[in-house]
Structure 1
Amino acid sequence: MTEQPSYYSIITANVRYDNRLTDSEKILFAEITSLSNKYGYCTASNGYFAKLYEVTKVTISRRIANLKECGYLQC
């Protein structure tokens, strides 16, 4: 069994109700912000998120690109 993270995440209202984002992008945003709150910035790789959500790195890259385009992430 793969060990799952044990912290909680919050999705802010502006993200939750943004129709430009998919549900998966909203959950990814919550995951990224949780990791950012712990360290001050997110150090997790696209590979980490791909494995966590059982999708490809390309899928994670697309989700991150849309979050950036909508103004929710900076790199």
Structure 2
Amino acid sequence: MTNKRNWVQFKITKDDFKDDLTVIEVNILKAIQALDKGQGCFATNSYFAEYFNLHPVTVSKNINNLKNKGYIQIYFERQNRDKVKRTIKPISKVSYSEKSQILGVIKYINGLYNKEYDYTPLKATPEIRKAVQNKLNEFKSQKQLIQYLKKHREDLLSTHGASLWLQGKMEL
């Protein structure tokens, strides 16, 4: 007996393996992305279970993990009394390189103070790059670091103050 089901095809690269995803989650996510076609993925847990040779409960747990980690959204729509249609929409996650994040923070700091009369741009020297990298590690994300800088703009006074704070030479 041959299976006449049309299976989705997709390619997995090393870049698909994120720190927070398991091998099963990567495969299911890639299948969801391939099936999406702009309208969402309508595949059932049974489809994925058969495709990946997994138990439907394992599929369900991994789909919920992808949702909780922010890689997909799930929508339910009641079609009649007994049937519910599930739509899975992949969420595009953009990852920026460490260098890009560091330069982005420096650019943000310069933008905070560039209208001040005594503005001196913060330069991306090796010391400043290292200091920004340390702050990115401390704050866990570029977004959180930038929110902190925005909140404490007045405390830093200038790019010089931001430089001192980044290097740990000034406390807030």
Q: What is the distance in 2 between the residues matched to 1:17 and 1:51?
A: 22
Residue 24 of structure 1 aligns with which residue?
24
**Identical amino acids, percent of aligned pairs:** 31
Find the aligned partners of 2:7 and 2:36 in 1 and give their Cα distance. 14
Q: Displacement, 1:22?
A: 0.3
Structure 2 gap segments, 5+ residues each: 75-172
Asked if 2 retains the 8 angstrom alpha-carbon contact of 1:46 and 1:57, the reply is yes
Q: Structure 1 unaligned runs (5+)?
A: none
Q: Is the 8 A contact 2:25 2:66 kept in 1?
A: yes
Q: Report 1:29-48 matches (<5 A).
A: 29-37=29-37, 40-48=39-47
Which residue of the partner structure matches residue 5 of structure 1? 7
Q: Which amino acid aligns with 1:45?
A: T
Runs of 4+ in structure 1 off by over 4 angstroms are none
Q: Give the stretch that moved more between structures: 47-56 or 16-25.
A: 16-25
TM-score normalized with structure 2 length = 0.37
More strand by share: 2
Greater relative CO (CA pairs within 8 A, separation 6+): 1
The residue type equivalent to 2:71 in the other structure is Y
Q: For residues 10-69 of structure 1, give each alpha carbon's deviation from its aligned partner in whole angstroms, at most 9, with x where no partner exists.
A: 66x4xx2421110111011000111012x6211110011001111111000111011001
State the structure with more CA Rg.
Answer: 2
